[in-house]
Amino acid sequence: MNIKTNTIETDILIVGHGIAGLAAAHAVKDEDPALKVLAVDKASLGYGGKANKGGGHVAFIPEGGEEKYVEYHTRNNGDYLNDQDALRNYAYSTIKVMDKWEKWGAKFIGRDIAFNAHPSIPWKVCLVDSTILLDMAREAKKKGIEFMDKIDVTDLLTYDGKVSGAIGFSVLTGERYIFKAKAVILANGNQNWGIMKMWSSGRGEGIGAAYRAGAMMRNAEFGSFVNIVSLDHGHVSYEAENYMYNKFGKKVDPNIADLVDAAFRNVCGGVDIGGAIGMVMYSEVAAGNGPIYENIAENKFPDDPFGQIIFPMKGQAPKEWYRPGTHKFAHRLYEKAKLGGYAKNPGSDLREIEPGVVGECSPLYADHNMASNLPGLFSCGDISANGSSWSGAVPTPPGRNRGSGLMNAVYTASVAGPSAAKYASNISKVNVSEEQIEEITKQIYAPIDRYDGTTTSEIEWRIKSLLQYVPYSNYKSEARLLKALKEVEKLKKEVAQVVAKDWHDLAKANACKSMVLCAEMFFKGSLARKESRGWHIREDYPNRDDKNMLKWINFQKGEDGEMVMSFTDVPMEKYKYKPEGWEPKNSESK
């Protein structure tokens, strides 16, 4: 195959120009305006990622409330698996980050009248419009930051153990792109397995690229965020968890009752939507009481004034909270999806719902400088939210704190940008391996050269079906996890022989590799964590095990190409907040 090659050199390469990538680009330029910055994405500038498809909520910690937030998050959300130092860095930085963000193009709505997001936690939320990426991109161009669209970056380049660039191809023409860079910042999202519509853009390509290059992964077992989806229209049914009924007309309690121990109940949910909601629905159906329905007459969220502020599907938010872009998006979503779906069951207030797996698997390891274990590789945003460990035993956005997704993206970008800039300033020359480039090129284009093999659509469907199954992903047991891993092993063999019919399908083939890889990490990590902690729920291990499982589970690619698991003890000795009854290991022998 005769493919045109484009070779581009830059100082800082940012993979992904969603909200984290844009913020990182600004942060690099603020640190060192002389550095050349290039951000590359397979989507169009201003429209990629998840930030412009959600609620636009921005969480921040008011001055004086930071330590209380750290304590609450550690005890009630992260379930003591937090890197408490990293969490504290976050809590004490949110207001400073907002000040920077405004200079980067953000227009906050309601910052001065921000509402309290929880009755006891010092945690406030204001808003941004869904046009936030366009505003940030406009300001970025003024700084000389360069952008490229429609390019799928598939792999990282390394030389002497250091990351020295990346390689990918145009999803329009198939042309090969080789990027040489002093430092690379991965900001292209986490793994959501393409199941839920609003988050389907997260396919974990950056996770796959980093893993293949030798980067460490951590906390993959917590990529199990479950929301509630309506079978009528396939979108999230907001607040449905409070208005659930079984087929006998009995209201279903969204709390987890006696399914797990009391200590676990205290840390599950309570802020946004809890990790046990899928388990509750599954248990109800398994008992013969399904299907589960939402009573749309009782659920007043679309008409509620607060609902019109945070996601205005009907009516209009008050002037001080009005967001024209979000208003248009939410109304269109409601009219096209919800009303169209509700028309299927005229005269009834009951609509069938089920758990909808979002995933949010974000395992790329990052230290306090947002650096990976590979020199020259940094990250920000969703891709490393669990891998950085600051959020603990929960999917990202951390702890389901409403608004923490955007803040996590911009905060980590504000750290990754300067870190990458400082690293790049000490690199005089970028070296790449031509042999490595040619080997990766063969792997990239192999699916489009094949005539026989499994299609990308079949791989996608099977991996989605595997993760969507609540007994595999949300309410786990050893027997079920082993069954899931058996299916993953089959998919690993088939994805190695996947077939692509065009350039867009070739990008899909790359995504399929990452989807299967993340599923393997998720299920293996879930099998190894023999306890229930945070959003990781084991039917066969219903209790939290602070004696044996205060560990972070890591994965790396071994020398033989197979996945290698390791464990890192959470350094509880140096942390302020400890589980009740916790004792240092050496105290057991005294």
Region 567-577: what's the mean pLDDT? 98
DSSP track, 145-201: -EEE-SEEEEEEEEETTEEEEEEEEETTT--EEEEEEEEEEE-S--B-TT-SGGGTT
**Separation between Cα atoms, residue 273 and residue 254, nearest integer Å:** 9
**Separation between Cα atoms, residue 164 and residue 534, nearest integer Å:** 37
**What proportion of the chain, given as a percentage, has pLDDT over 90?**
74
Q: Which residues contact 218 (CB under 8 A, 6 or more apart)?
A: 363, 365, 386, 387, 389, 552, 553, 554, 555, 568
DSSP track, 4-30: -EEEEEEEEEEE--SHHHHHHHHHHHH
343, pLDDT greater than 60 = no
Q: Which residues pair with 148 in a beta bridge?
A: 40
Q: Which residues pair with 171 in a beta bridge?
A: none
Q: What pLDDT sits at residue 471?
A: 93
pLDDT band at 121 (very low <50, low <70, confident <90, very high): confident
pTM of the model: 0.95
Which contiguous run of DSSP H or E holds residue 266?
none
Residue 417 three-state SS: helix
- List the structure tokens of 94: 């949110």
The residue type of 74 is T
pLDDT band at 260 (very low <50, low <70, confident <90, very high): very low
**What proportion of the chain, given as a percentage, has pLDDT over 70?**
93
Residue 293 three-state SS: strand
Write the pLDDT tens digit of every residue in 517-541. Answer: 999 999 999 999 999 998 899 999 9
For residues 167 and 161, the answer to whether their CB atoms sit within 8 Å is no
71, pLDDT greater than 80 = yes
272, pLDDT greater than 70 = no
Region 29-45: what's the mean pLDDT? 98
449, pLDDT greater than 60 = yes
Cα separation of the two ends of the chain: 69
- List the structure tokens of 493: 């063999």
Q: What pLDDT sits at residue 585?
A: 79
379, pLDDT greater than 90 = yes
Q: What pLDDT sits at residue 54?
A: 80
Region 357-361: what's the mean pLDDT? 91
458, pLDDT greater than 70 = yes
Least confident of 222-231, 358-367, 382-391, 481-490: 222-231
- List the structure tokens of 296: 């749309």
264, pLDDT greater than 70 = no
As its CATH architecture, domain 5-222+360-424 has: 3-Layer(bba) Sandwich (3.50)
For residues 251 and 244, the answer to whether their CB atoms sit within 8 Å is yes
433 or 272: which leads in pLDDT: 433
Q: What pLDDT sits at residue 274?
A: 63
Sorted by where each begins, the domain ranges of the chain are: 5-222+360-424, 225-358
Q: What pLDDT sits at residue 374?
A: 99
Region 96-103: what's the mean pLDDT? 98
Q: What pLDDT sits at residue 29?
A: 99
Q: What pLDDT sits at residue 335?
A: 78
pLDDT band at 339 (very low <50, low <70, confident <90, very high): low
**Separation between Cα atoms, residue 187 and residue 190, nearest integer Å:** 9
